[in-house]
């Protein structure tokens, strides 16, 4: 008798945690487990700003899938369409070969992409901070601006290269601006021709508060830390237009700048749009057990799923955070196993354990279990949480070693070559044009199934 096939889509927090749990819960030979992942690692997203700042190496936050998964078949590629009626997932491998993966149980955890808006010049000139390649590229780009400004003979060019704009006052944007500002501030030691007064960082957000999830007190503390460092924080402001050498704000200001880092939120993976399923703000609607009710054997979780937040109630859904994604992965795996064994499913219920924001150096704000912390104590909690959340001892050691090295030796200003050729922008890293239409999915399903 053929064994049931469980297919997990996504190599992020939710998908990997689900596959790990399935391996632990299922008896060897009880079912075949496969995971579709474009890369051979789980990216630890919360530490990307430190990769961009050069505090951590890219490998430190790329946690090897093959160290975590032992009985799961890893399919190197991305899901580009799902046919729930035929129980087929269309996958484009990293070789561009398109294959049909049949499943009995499907776990959708494709994650999210950078949310963008119809702003003139945005897709052509903005850089994102959602992938490892983007973080490495941003680092190269910022250092290249320092190098070019140092060599420039024209004052206007120098000014535009030394002004940096980060859009998004959430965790990603705030930490990115804070970490990179520390790097450019320390650059004056290595670039004696640069006037430190010309180096300027702008952090803007359309919201009236910085990181409102922290609460008024901690949010105000973080804002005070940033402003004391010289970061100009503008709230209630967004971007009206982006040019090659300037950024125009909605309040009319025109900032001479060749760097716009866009971290203004996320949107569910376009894979969700290939399903005929109910959505909530683009995320597929699920039950509290993370089932997609329209389709047999389909579960969804993480950033791409609107999972009811039973802890909060009031019909709200869980926010797209790593904390929820990891815990949903465990419960989703339990429910897949329960479905396989004809046992009752359980609802996902999780209270947020708190928030940590690393502002670089000794600066941080944290709120573990509702306790508000700042400074060194908050930094200790933030870094302790990250070490706990990393899934392999190798990753933990790499991160700790990098932290120690940076604390003792300081920053280096080395470009690794990502600046060669055409500058990469938002659309170049997230492959948002790879997904199939519903008609294409049906055609691929029929053709590939017949071929296989």
Task: Give residue 421's pLDDT.
Answer: 60
Please give the pLDDT value at position 238. 96
Instruction: Please give the residue that has the higher pLDDT: either 314 or 221.
Output: 221
Q: What pLDDT was estimated at residue 313?
A: 86
Do 201 and 230 meet the contact criterion of CB atoms below 8 Å apart? yes
State the CATH architecture for 122-264+354-416: 3-Layer(bba) Sandwich (3.50)
Alpha carbon of residue 342 to chain centroid: 35
Give DSSP secondary structure letters for 143-160: HHHHHHHHH---HHHHHH
Q: Indicate the burial class of 39 (C-beta count within 10 angstroms; 0-12, 13-18, 19 or more).
A: middle
Confidence of residue 452 (pLDDT cuts 50, 70, 90): low
Question: How confident is the model at residue 434, as a pLDDT?
Answer: 80
Phi and psi angles of residue 433, each rounded to the nearest 5 degrees, phi first: -100, 15
pLDDT score, position 15: 98
Question: What's the pLDDT at 354?
Answer: 82
Segment 41-58 shows an average pLDDT of 96
Q: State residue 450's pLDDT score.
A: 74
What is the domain class of 5-114+267-352+430-447 according to CATH? alpha beta
Do 284 and 292 meet the contact criterion of CB atoms below 8 Å apart? yes
Q: Do domains 5-114+267-352+430-447 and 122-264+354-416 have the same CATH topology?
A: yes
Q: What is the mean pLDDT of residues 327-356?
A: 94
**pLDDT score of 422 more than 90:** no
Q: What's the gap between Cα 113 and its chain centre?
A: 8
Given this model, what pLDDT does residue 446 score?
Answer: 82
Using the predicted structure, report yes or no on whether residue 425 has a pLDDT greater than 90.
no
**pLDDT band, residue 418 (cuts 50/70/90):** low
Q: What is the mean pLDDT of residues 309-324?
A: 91
pLDDT over 70 (residue 423) = no
Beta-strand ranges (E) seen in 10-109 are: 32-37, 41-43, 62-64, 73-83, 88-93, 98-102, 105-108
What residue spans define the domains of the chain?
5-114+267-352+430-447, 122-264+354-416
**Interior/surface letters 304-319, b for 16+ CB within 10 angstroms, e for the rest:** bbbbbbeeeeeeebbe
For the segment 169-193, what is each residue's pLDDT rounded down to a tens digit?
999 999 999 999 999 999 988 998 9
Q: How confident is the model at residue 268 (pLDDT cuts 50, 70, 90)?
A: very high
pLDDT at 351: 79
Q: Return mean pLDDT, the chain.
A: 93
pLDDT confidence tier of residue 199, bands split at 50, 70 and 90: very high
Tell me the pLDDT tens digit for each residue of 346-360.
999 987 778 899 998
Q: Which pLDDT value is given to residue 1?
A: 65
How large a percentage of the chain has pLDDT more than 70? 97
| Per-residue pLDDT, 144 | 94
Q: How large is the average pLDDT for residues 372-396?
A: 94
Estimate the crossing angle of helix 393-409 against helix 375-389, to 10 degrees: 150
Q: What is the pLDDT of residue 419?
A: 59
Whether 35 has a pLDDT exceeding 80, the answer reads yes
């Amino acid at each position: 008798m053929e064994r049931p096939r469980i297919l997990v889509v996504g190599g992020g927090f939710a998908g990997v945690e689900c596959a790990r749990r399935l391996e632990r819960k299922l008896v060897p030979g009880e079912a075949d487990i496969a995971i579709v992942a474009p890369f051979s690692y789980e990216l630890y997203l919360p530490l990307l700003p430190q990769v961009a700042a050069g505090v951590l190496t890219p490998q430190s936050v790329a946690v090897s899938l093959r160290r975590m998964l032992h009985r799961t078949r890893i399919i190197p590629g991305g899901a580009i369409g799902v046919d729930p009626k035929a129980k087929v997932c269309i996958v484009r491998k990293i070789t561009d070969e398109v294959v049909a993966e049949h499943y009995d149980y499907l776990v959708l955890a494709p994650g999210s992409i950078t949310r963008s808006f119809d702003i003139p010049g945005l897709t052509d000139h903005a850089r994102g901070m959602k992938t490892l390649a983007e973080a490495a590229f941003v680092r190269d780009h910022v250092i290249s601006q320092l190098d070019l400004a140092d060599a420039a003979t024209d004052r206007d060019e120098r000014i535009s290269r030394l002004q940096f704009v980060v859009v998004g006052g959430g965790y990603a944007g705030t930490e990115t601006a804070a970490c990179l500002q520390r790097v450019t501030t320390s650059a004056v030691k290595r670039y004696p021709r640069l006037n430190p007064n010309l180096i300027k960082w702008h952090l803007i957000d359309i919201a009236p508060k910085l990181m409102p999830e922290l609460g008024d007190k901690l949010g105000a503390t973080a804002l005070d830390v940033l402003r004391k460092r010289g970061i100009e924080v503008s709230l209630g402001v967004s971007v009206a237009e982006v040019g090659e050498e300037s950024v125009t704000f909605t309040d009319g200001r025109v900032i001479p700048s060749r760097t716009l880092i866009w971290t203004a939120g996320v949107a569910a993976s376009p894979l969700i749009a290939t399903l005929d399923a109910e959505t909530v703000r683009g995320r597929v609607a699920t039950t509290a057990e993370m089932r997609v009710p329209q389709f047999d054997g389909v579960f969804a979780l993480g950033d791409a799923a609107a999972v009811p937040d039973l802890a909060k109630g009031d019909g709200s859904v869980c926010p797209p955070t790593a904390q929820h994604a990891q815990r949903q992965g465990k419960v989703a795996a339990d429910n897949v196993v329960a479905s396989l064994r004809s046992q009752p499913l359980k609802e996902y219920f999780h209270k947020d354990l708190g928030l940590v924001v690393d502002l670089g150096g000794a600066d941080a704000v944290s709120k573990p279990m509702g306790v508000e912390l700042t400074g060194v104590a908050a930094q200790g909690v933030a870094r302790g949480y990250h070490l706990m959340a990393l899934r392999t001892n190798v990753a933990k050691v790499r991160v700790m070693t990098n932290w120690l090295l940076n604390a003792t030796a300081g920053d280096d200003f080395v470009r690794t070559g990502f600046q060669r050729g055409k500058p990469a922008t938002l659309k170049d890293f997230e492959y948002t044009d790879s997904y199939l239409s519903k008609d294409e999915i049906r055609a691929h399903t029929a053709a590939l199934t017949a071929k296989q």
